Structure 1
Amino acid sequence: MRLSVVTISLLFLAIHLAIAASVPLFDDEAYYALWARDLALGYYDHPPMIAYMIRMGTSLFGETALGIRLFPVLGFVASGYFVGDIARRVSGGVVGLPVLATMLYNLNLLVFALGSFATPDAPSTLFWIAALWAAVRAVSTPPDTRFAVLWWICTGLFIGFGGLSKFTNAFLAFGLLAYLIATPKGRAYLLTGLPYMAVTAAILPLLPYLFWNLQNDWLGLERQGARLVASGFSPRYLGEYAALLLLAPTPLVTWFAFRALKAPPKDCALLIWSSIPLLLYFTYHATHAPVQANWIVPLQACVAIAATFGLAQAQSPQLWIKATLAGALLLSVGSVATAFNPATPIGTADNPPNQTRGWSATQDAVTDLLQETGARWVATTDYARTGSLALRFPQMPVWSVIELQRYGFRGAFPTELCTAPGLLIERARRSETISRVAASLFETVEATQAAMRTQDEVTLMQYHLTPVSGVKSRDLCPKNAQ
């Protein structure tokens, strides 16, 4: 059977759905699932698109791992399909290149690792690549046709939806503008009304989010805008960033992507320009802070397409294609299988794979103490515990008593909990035996108990479980403070 882009996409869909259904949720996913319970036009940490995607899945399958991850998985798989179609159009329809581009994209270390989970990178990557896909069609359609208007508007809408996913998607708009200014073909479009239609279409989806920021003292924009401020200089981060760019696509893919730049296809200028602003921003960011691996995921589409052309130009291309796919398969699948293996933790760091482990005994310990103390709610002091405990104890109110700006979407704190007995659950340092913050947050504080989350005799995290009552916070309980 001859492979196609659709066949490859369906194969990876099955793989990612299997992983999504079988691996427990990690902390950030649980936090985003909490957003999805109370949909809002915006949130403190990110724009709202991931919450909308999770809500669509949970409306079908409930607050299960599969329900929470379903539409993010579909988003990553759809982006792989778009990569194949972009490669087909840029190559002029050369047989085999679209399938290879889709394979290389899906076997990218970051794409494969994130493709089964619910994070803002899923909608961000989907709409970044969908906007590229529409833009490639837009600039290849005669400007005086009805379809040209359609593709330019679609490009703008996808950019706008990307902005509702992560702020980094704004750099795609800058890249496409650079293409319009820097290339003769692009400048010809500036003389038409089409790019301005795209700008209008991009702004429209963002208006509700901008309105939310206006109502909330620009909370989301201020938080993300803080990343633009430099604080010192460190060459170490530049080295880490360079290593990330080279290793994330897997080494042979990176090598052939660079080789393709020596003789790029004539229609790939848009892809190159689309990536430059984000690459430059991350280079600037790396001068003072680390660039997180997931941030560069949208760029992996262009790397995969470039590597496809590099492999097609190589001597003995079939041999190198097999070697490149085998290397990517071994590195990507092997890394994910090792990190999420069901038996033994890899180290003790608080990373997503380890956050999925050892919860059964911990939940039992918390349940026993809730019943013993008669606690009517669970108090937390960080977003990770808030999300994970809210999902694992759906019948028990779970509220954070600090960092209140994160939880405006939940509405007012229930007044009946202000004086009700509760159980404060915190992450504890290994050397601590009592809660450091309970006395400053509650009027009544009882003896702290310890709970461990372990797997295969490896301690992954220690918790403090402290019975409390009488919330001191004036913001949560004004009457208690009087």
Structure 2
Amino acid sequence: MPWVLGLLALTALRLGAAALLPLTPDEAYYWIWARDLQGGYLDHPPMVALWIWAGTALAGDGALGIRLLGPLGLALASLALASAGDTLMPRLRPGRPAALLLNAMPVTNAGAVLMTPDTPLFVFWCLALWAAARLHATGNGRWWLAVGALSGLALASKYTAVLLGAGLVLWLVAEPSARRWWRSPWLYAGGALAAAAFSPVVAWNAAHGWASFAKQGGRAAAGEGLGIRYLAELLGGQLGLASPILLVLCVIGTGAAALAWVRGREGGAGLLAAITLPAALLFLWQALGSRVQGNWPAILYPAACIAAAGFTARGWQRGGAILGGVMSAAILIQAGAAPLALPRRADPTLARLGGWPELAAEAEAARLRAGASFIAAEEYGLAAELSLHLPPGVPVVAIGDRWALFTLPRPAPGGTGLMLRSLRRGEGPSLWPGAVPLGELVRSRQGIEAERYRLLRVETPPGEVPAALLPRPR
């Protein structure tokens, strides 16, 4: 099929971009997770670590290995979405157009190339939507097993997958044709599979003082009372991440799906609305009091793209796909080649991706001049980047409370090292006791400054200060 060939070509391009683009600090940090596999971590569930572990086992500890499963997973998710669309609305058959819209979005292309917890979440969300579509179309309760297992894997990827379960429950309550499932043992068997898939995360939290649940639960409940500021930030971010035309089409399509559900009792359209609308309203409500990160609403777009493909004009869909594709290509080109000499405040790719290997080389030269035995950092992303990019054999030490939750070895006592500390953290006291300033280093890309770091001479911290000796590439 031509569209399958197009998807294969797009996947090949994404694999190339994954291999060539520099790694972000978060990706480097998740690579550390993959070298210390656990049932959970302070920041997120463990699925991203498992994906990186599998990718690096196949392709090594470089950028391609760390990101390998992202482009492959998004290709599978695209096939699942196309099938789900046609299954839910067989009269309109919006599956392939929906997959086109989704793959044109900058947020999808970023998620396919960069490896974060959102990547496996997005894939398992699409697969669970496909299984739910098959359940609705066939009426075969055994599909609850697939829905439950895939939803559990999504929840083991990122906690926001709980919104998928909430949407399914709403559909089961509000859709007359679905209420019969409350009397079926298959529904509860699927729920048991979801709980089993998530149980390692619960066990890890129970063994670590519920650290991850407390952190993420506190973030969800946070409120700073700044109202319109964060709401405008959220909406502006979605205009860039989804692209303007596609965002509008998704909003219109989801609204039309909800109306079709209410007026015509179309259960397939109702499933799309139930999965999308409550979660969207939750993000909007949270943005009235605290920041909603731009990537969080990405989970809304698979179902919204099906609704957009089914209920909006094809001409607008083509125009939106072209604009989204152009925006995606421009972002990836800027991230890799930086043809535009933009300052940090105008170029997120510079802030996150620019100059890490060069910074590591300068840090190593400074270490040799100072006669230090190791390189250290307080910021987890900076420490992880140094661990990936410093020459083999150079010990990298990370300091901070989060490292007490890992099983990584502690640094040997009595050593003298060189620590990097971002000036963006301000002039407050260092976490490392007795740090002595020595100078500064600058991370830059093509002569444009991304970040400035203070160099400090440090000694291995006492035992009560959490620190870890980070793994190095194999």
TM over 0.5: yes
Deviations 1:370-413 (A, max 9, x none): 223332222211112111111112532222222x2245223341
Q: What residue is the counterpart of 2:472 in the other structure?
A: none
Report the Cα distance in structure 2 between the residues aligned to 1:470 and 1:328, rounded to whole angstroms.
Answer: 50
Q: Which one of the candidate residues 447, 451, 456 is aligned to 1:461? A: 451
Q: Which one of the candidate residues 418, 421, 437 is aligned to 2:416? A: 421
* CA shift for structure 1 position 476: 4.3
> Bigger shift: 216-225 or 459-468?
459-468
Deviations 1:86-121 (A, max 9, x none): 1121231756x3322111110012112222011111
Q: What residue is the counterpart of 1:252 in the other structure?
A: 245
Report the Cα distance in structure 2 between the residues aligned to 1:292 and 1:446, rounded to whole angstroms.
Answer: 36
Alignment of 1:466-481 (within 5 A): 466-472=456-462, 474-476=464-466
Report the Cα distance in structure 2 between the residues aligned to 1:27 and 1:248, rounded to whole angstroms.
Answer: 20
> Bigger shift: 78-87 or 154-163?
78-87
> Bigger shift: 160-169 or 258-267?
258-267
Partner SS, residue 110 of structure 2: helix
Change (3 A) 1:472 1:376: same
Stretches of structure 1 that go unaligned for 5 or more consecutive residues are: 478-482
Q: What residue is the counterpart of 2:23 in the other structure?
A: 25
Report the Cα distance in structure 2 between the residues aligned to 1:310 and 1:140, rounded to whole angstroms.
Answer: 20
Change (3 A) 1:476 1:307: closer
Change (3 A) 1:475 1:334: closer
Change (3 A) 1:361 1:230: closer
Q: What residue is the counterpart of 2:399 in the other structure?
A: 401
> Bigger shift: 231-240 or 341-350?
341-350
Q: What residue is the counterpart of 1:452 in the other structure?
A: 442
Deviations 1:324-353 (A, max 9, x none): 332222233233333443445532248444
Preserved CA contact (<8 Å) 2:275 2:303: no
Q: Aligned AA for 1:103?
A: L
* CA shift for structure 1 position 365: 1.9
Q: Which one of the candidate residues 194, 201, 208 is aligned to 1:216? A: 208
Deviations 1:188-232 (A, max 9, x none): 221222211111111001111111101100011111010232434
Q: Which one of the candidate residues 36, 40, 43 is aligned to 1:42? A: 40
* CA shift for structure 1 position 474: 1.8
Deviations 1:168-197 (A, max 9, x none): 001110110110011101112212222111
Preserved CA contact (<8 Å) 2:83 2:130: yes
Report the Cα distance in structure 2 between the residues aligned to 1:9 and 1:78, rounded to whole angstroms.
Answer: 10
Q: What residue is the counterpart of 1:290 in the other structure?
A: 291
Change (3 A) 1:359 1:167: closer
Q: What residue is the counterpart of 1:332 in the other structure?
A: 328
* CA shift for structure 1 position 246: 5.4
Preserved CA contact (<8 Å) 1:27 1:387: yes
Change (3 A) 1:344 1:160: same
Preserved CA contact (<8 Å) 2:48 2:116: yes
Preserved CA contact (<8 Å) 1:161 1:206: yes
**What is the aligned-residue RMSD (CA, Å)?**
2.4
Report the Cα distance in structure 2 between the residues aligned to 1:171 and 1:326, rounded to whole angstroms.
Answer: 30
Change (3 A) 1:230 1:64: closer
Report the Cα distance in structure 1 between the residues aligned to 2:234 and 2:436, rounded to whole angstroms.
Answer: 47
Is structure 2 residue 138 aligned with structure 1 residue 141? yes
Is structure 2 residue 234 aligned with structure 1 residue 241? yes
Change (3 A) 1:362 1:328: closer
TM-score, normalised via structure 1 length: 0.88
Alignment of 1:64-143 (within 5 A): 64-92=62-90, 97-143=94-140
Preserved CA contact (<8 Å) 1:424 1:465: yes
Change (3 A) 1:55 1:19: same
- Percent of pairs identical after alignment? 28
Preserved CA contact (<8 Å) 1:47 1:164: yes
Larger Rg: 1
Report the Cα distance in structure 1 between the residues aligned to 2:87 and 2:428, rounded to whole angstroms.
Answer: 60
Change (3 A) 1:14 1:258: same
TM-score, normalised via structure 2 length: 0.89
Q: Aligned AA for 1:286?
A: A
Is structure 2 residue 220 aligned with structure 1 residue 228? yes
Alignment of 1:133-172 (within 5 A): 133-143=130-140, 148-149=141-142, 151-172=143-164
Tell me the matched-pair count: 456
Change (3 A) 1:40 1:230: closer
* CA shift for structure 1 position 354: 3.2
Q: Aligned AA for 1:3?
A: P
Q: Aligned AA for 2:125?
A: W
Report the Cα distance in structure 1 between the residues aligned to 2:155 and 2:299, rounded to whole angstroms.
Answer: 13
Report the Cα distance in structure 2 between the residues aligned to 1:358 and 1:241, rounded to whole angstroms.
Answer: 29
Change (3 A) 1:452 1:180: same
Report the Cα distance in structure 2 between the residues aligned to 1:214 and 1:425, rounded to whole angstroms.
Answer: 34
Stretches of structure 2 that go unaligned for 5 or more consecutive residues are: 468-474
Preserved CA contact (<8 Å) 2:440 2:452: yes
